[in-house]
Chains A and B, each alone.
Chain A
Amino acid sequence: MSSRHANERPTRARAVVKPFQIRGRFLTALALRLEGGPPDVAFYEALDEQLQQTPQFFSAAPVVLDFARAPGIATPEKIRDLAHELRERNLLVFGVQNAGPIDQSALQSMGLIPLGPGRDEPGPDDAARRKRGVEKLLPPDNKIVTAPVRSGQIVVAERGDLTVVGSVASGAEVVASGNIHIYGTLRGRAVAGVHGNVNARIFCRKLDAELVAIAGLYKTSDTLDPAARDRCAQIFLEKEKLCMEAIA
Chain B
Amino acid sequence: MTTQMKAEPPLGRVIVITSGKGGVGKTTSAAAISAGLAKLGHKTVVIDFDVGLRNLDMTMGCERRVVFDFINVIQGDARLKQALIRDKRLETLSILPTSQTRDKDALTKEGVEAVLDELKREFDYIICDSPAGIERGAHLAMYFADEAVVVTNPEVSSVRDSDRVLGLLSSQTQRAETEGAEPVKAQVLLTRHDRARVDRGEMMTVEDVLEILAVPLLGIIPESQAVLRASNVGTPVVLDEPSAASRAYEDAVARLTGQEVEMRVTGERRPGLFHRLFGRSA
Contact = CB atoms under 8 A, between A and B. Distances in A.
B212 A169 contact: yes
Interface in A179-211: 185, 187
Given A169-B160, A170-B160, A171-B160, A153 B167 contact: yes
Contacts of B248: none
Q: What range describes how many residues of B lie at the interface? A: 10 to 19
B170 A147 contact: yes
B212 A187 contact: yes
Q: At the interface, is chain B mostly helix, strand, loop or mixed?
A: helix
A79 B153 CA distance: 77
Contact of A151 (B167, B171, B211): B167
A148 interface: yes
A151 B171 CA distance: 13
A152 B212 contact: no
B214 A171 contact: no
Nearest to B183: A147
B54 interface: no
B163 A169 contact: yes
Contacts of A187: 212
A171 B170 contact: no
Contacts of B166: 150
27 contacts: A148-B214, A150-B163, A150-B164, A150-B166, A150-B167, A150-B170, A151-B160, A151-B161, A151-B163, A151-B164, A152-B163, A152-B164, A152-B168, A153-B167, A153-B171, A167-B211, A167-B214, A169-B163, A169-B212, A170-B156, A170-B160, A170-B163, A171-B160, A171-B163, A171-B164, A172-B167, A187-B212
Q: Which 6 A-B pairs have the closest CB atoms?
A: A150-B167, A151-B163, A151-B164, A152-B164, A169-B163, A148-B214
Interface of A: 147-148, 150-153, 166-167, 169-172, 185, 187
Interface of B: 156, 160-161, 163-164, 166-168, 170-171, 211-212, 214
